[in-house]
A and B are shown apart, each in its own frame.
Chain A
Amino acid sequence: AQSVTQPDIHITVSEGASLELRCNYSYGATPYLFWYVQSPGQGLQLLLKYFSGDTLVQGIKGFEAEFKRSQSSFNLRKPSVHWSDAAEYFCAVGAPNQAGTALIFGKGTTLSVSS
């Protein structure tokens, strides 16, 4: 069965510092991988996704993520964090060619940004 682990429940980063949020997945083949962001009181918004090809993917708001098959990881990064990046971040995995299944979400990482 697929699963997603986000090891960090809460991270605090200084404004302007770099950020890395960790995501590990469990799946037998190459999954479809997503990062979503949820601002307080809002629904989820897609930041980026990986299906195949270049393992470094660029997303919105200056985020990027790198797929590492050997580590079963899909970590999210941003070179310089802004106060508006404070939110909850969810990694999710979907199984290709398995219609009738659904995305599996990690439990989320809450990002706080200090000034």
Chain B
Amino acid sequence: NAGVTQTPKFQVLKTGQSMTLQCAQDMNHNSMYWYRQDPGMGLRLIYYSASEGTTDKGEVPNGYNVSRLNKREFSLRLESAAPSQTSVYFCASSESPGGVTDTQYFGPGTRLTVL
């Protein structure tokens, strides 16, 4: 039981490049989330998916898109990376549909640098 997995672990991009961060969970959870973590800012929600087939914006969605590919997988795409998107990205999942009051289980993170 791997829990929440994220790929890649590290990535360096040049301004304007695109990339997709992958996330998968094997706990049969309904809800999945993408956060970014910046020094002194805590975690801020980018997008979330309360159930398969639905996605909603969080606090900081600009510059990102997401896809809930199936119940297991939730990807985050940067279409044209900017230095302001340098951050550590965490994927999380929780059991209930839209159950944001459930315990969230986090992946190990992707450290992204945009030059």
Tell me if A106 and B101 are in contact (CB < 8 A): no
Is there a chain B Cβ closer than 8 Å to A95's Cβ?
yes
Name which of A11-19, A67-75, A97-105 contacts chain B.
A97-105
Total contacting residues, chain B, CB less than 8 A: 26
Tell me if A100 and B98 are in contact (CB < 8 A): yes
Is there a chain B Cβ closer than 8 Å to A62's Cβ?
no
Tell me if A32 and B108 are in contact (CB < 8 A): no
Number of A-B residue pairs with CB-CB distance less than 8 Å in the complex they form:
60
Is there a chain A Cβ closer than 8 Å to B43's Cβ?
yes
Number of chain A interface residues as a range: 20 to 34
Tell me if B101 and A94 are in contact (CB < 8 A): yes
Beta-carbon nearest neighbor of B96 in chain A: A99
Given A41-B108, A43-B107, 8 more A-B residue pairs with CB atoms under 8 Å apart are A43-B108, A44-B43, A46-B105, A96-B101, A100-B56, A100-B100, A102-B58, A103-B100
Q: List 13 A-B contacts (CB under 8 A).
A: A42-B108, A43-B4, A43-B90, A43-B108, A43-B109, A44-B106, A46-B104, A98-B100, A99-B98, A102-B48, A107-B41, A107-B42, A108-B42
